[in-house]
Structure formats: C-alpha cells, structure tokens
Amino acid sequence: MSTQAAFVADGLGKRYGAKWALRDCSLEIPRGSVAALVGPNGAGKTTLLHLAIGLSKPTTGDVQVLGRSPRDEAATVLPRVGFVAQDHPLYRALTVGETLRVGRKLNPSWTDDLAFQRLERLGIPLGQKVGTLSGGQQAQVALTLALAKQPELLLLDEPVASLDPLARREFLESVMEVVAERELTVVLSSHIVADLERVCDFLVILSQAQTQLVGPIEEVVSSHRLLTGPRTDPATVARIHRVIRESHTERQTTLLVQANGHVYDSCWELHEVDLEEIVLAYLGHRGERVAA
C-alpha cells in the first residue's frame, strides 16, 4: 500500500443483514486528487464514505484514511478529515454563528478566519437560523464547517444532489476554489456525471456494491475507444482489449472498449468517447472489475 494514498480500501465489504452494500472493494485514491465516486443510487457510495470516516465498521477487509484506521484511530483521523454527509445535516434551530461556535468547540484545528470570510463572501448572515436558509446556503454552511477544521481529506456525500442547478454550480465552484488554494484531497460522490467532469481528476465507478473502474480521468478517457465496423463477433477484439459494451445492427457492430495499447485492426473505425458515455457503459456492464 502506498503511503501516497489518501484513501486505501483492501477487500472492503459491508453487509446489512443479508444484503451487501459494498463488497470486496479494493482501491487507492492518491493524495492531492479530486476523486469522483460515481454510481447509481444504492450502489454503495454512501457506505464507502461512511466506512472512510468511521461512521460504519467494515464487515470484511480494511480501510485506511491518511494511513490510519478511521474507526480504531478516530481521535487522530477525525481532525484531519472533513466530512459533509448526504443532505448536509445541520442543527436547524441554531443560528449560523452558533453553528460555527459548535465547529470551534468540537475541532482543535478550527480556524475562525476561514469560516467567517467564506460566509461573508457567500453573503450568509451569521444571525440567521440555519433552518431558514436555502438548501444551497445550508450546503455552503456544512462545507464551511468541514473546511474550517483544515482537513487534509474532504469527503462529500452527494453534496449537490438536493440543490437546484445554480446552487449546484456555485457549490462545485466553491470546492474547486478550495482545491486551488491549498493541498487537499477531495472525494465526492454523485450520480450526476456531468457535474463531476469539470471538477474531478480521478474516477471511481461503483455499481451493484462493487467497484467497476478506478483511475485518473485522463487515463480513463484516453484508454477507452468506440469501435465501429462491419458486423462481426467481438471475440477477436476481446482477446486483446476489454469490451465494455457491444451493440449490433444488421450490418454493423459497435464496441466500447478499454484499449490495451493501440487498436491496429484496420477494419475498425476508432472514435473518442466522452466520460459520461464511459460511465454509462460501465454502469450497464456486469463484468469483472478493472483498473485503468
């Protein structure tokens, strides 16, 4: 396991009753990356993030965050990790100012300056009750709370799912600003691929409780190709490359492949594919997992 990894899962699994929410998950997210955790609802994204922050205990395997176990070494892991849970829970009866005070009381590494400046820039009044803020403002308060403890790793669970398009863009811009300002690893989950493409440089695709693809987005995009050619059995191609999705018409075959080097066969016409299409292909794919 690399010490450069901010997050390492090794054979990680979590079972609720008879159902596996996450199964045999092994992956590394390098430090400094902005990783997107993509998958449909119920794919295990929240479970993975809860295991990462120590809210849940693994059923099998091991998880390391910043080189430590989030559950057994909570006292050393928690101050270094910022977390915004799904639907950004906050104390609705507290004012924004009191919410910041909660953050200050509960975090030794808290920085008031960062918190106050951020909220002032966003125009969120300190005297207002959190429950009366808009969804976007609440998400920003939750993010501020997570950032003001000056984390090395920031985990965001579906941070924009409940926001309208404008608030969604503002929130993601905030995340990008923070990443530009300082050394920070971010893992954010979403089922909306288009949002993540602008922000993230690392991709984890989760589906049916298992990781389908893990790797830097640039490599993911450059290694996947769409092949079109006369109708044929894809077995020849599958010997060298990994076929993610195949579709056939009467005269034509279209394959989305993860190419192992160049595709030399001249009977295929090669097209580049965008990230969204790759993600969709994997989400429909039922094969074994691969690393890009």
Cα–Cα dist 55/49, whole Å: 9
| Residue 9: HSE in the Cβ half-sphere, 13 Å Cα cutoff | 27
Applying the rule CB under 8 A, the residues between 61 and 80 that interact with another protein are 74-75, 78-79
Contact with another protein (CB under 8 A) among 2, 4, 109, 134: 109
- Segment near another protein (CB under 8 A); pick from 27-35, 49-57, 163-171, 208-216: 49-57
Q: In angstroms, what is the minimal distance from the CB of 249 to another protein?
A: 48
Q: In angstroms, what is the minimal distance from the CB of 57 to another protein?
A: 7
Q: Is 122 in the site for another protein (CB under 8 A)?
A: no
Contact with another protein (CB under 8 A) among 107, 189, 190, 211: 107
DSSP reduced 3-state for 100: helix
Cβ-contact 26, 75 below 8 angstroms: no
Query: For residue 22, what are its two tokens?
Result: 């996450």
Query: For residue 240, what are its two tokens?
Result: 């060298």
Distances (CA, A) of 104 to 18, 79, 198, 254: 41, 12, 32, 56
**Would you say 83 or 202 has its CB closer to another protein?**
83
**250-278 as b/e: b if 16+ CB within 10 A:** eeebbbbbbbeeebeeeebeeeebebebb
Contact with another protein (CB under 8 A) among 23, 50, 118, 285: 50
- Segment near another protein (CB under 8 A); pick from 50-58, 200-208, 255-263, 276-284: 50-58
Cβ-contact 130, 96 below 8 angstroms: yes
Residues 81-100, mask of contacts with another protein (x by CB under 8 A)? xxx-x-x-xxxxxx---x--
Cα–Cα dist 132/125, whole Å: 11
**Would you say 35 or 153 has its CB closer to another protein?**
153
Q: Is 105 in the site for another protein (CB under 8 A)?
A: yes
- Segment near another protein (CB under 8 A); pick from 37-45, 139-147, 203-211, 282-290: 139-147
Q: In angstroms, what is the minimal distance from the CB of 120 to another protein?
A: 22
How many other C-beta atoms are found inside a 10 Å radius of the C-beta of residue 246?
A: 16
Q: Is 56 in the site for another protein (CB under 8 A)?
A: yes
Number of residues that bind another protein (CB under 8 A): 34
Q: Is 207 in the site for another protein (CB under 8 A)?
A: no
Question: 140: part of which helix (H) or strand (E)?
Answer: helix 135-147
Query: For residue 94, what are its two tokens?
Result: 């507290």
Cα–Cα dist 25/8, whole Å: 10
Residues near another protein (CB under 8 A): 50, 53-57, 74-75, 78-79, 81-83, 85, 87, 89-94, 98, 101-103, 105-109, 142, 145-146, 149
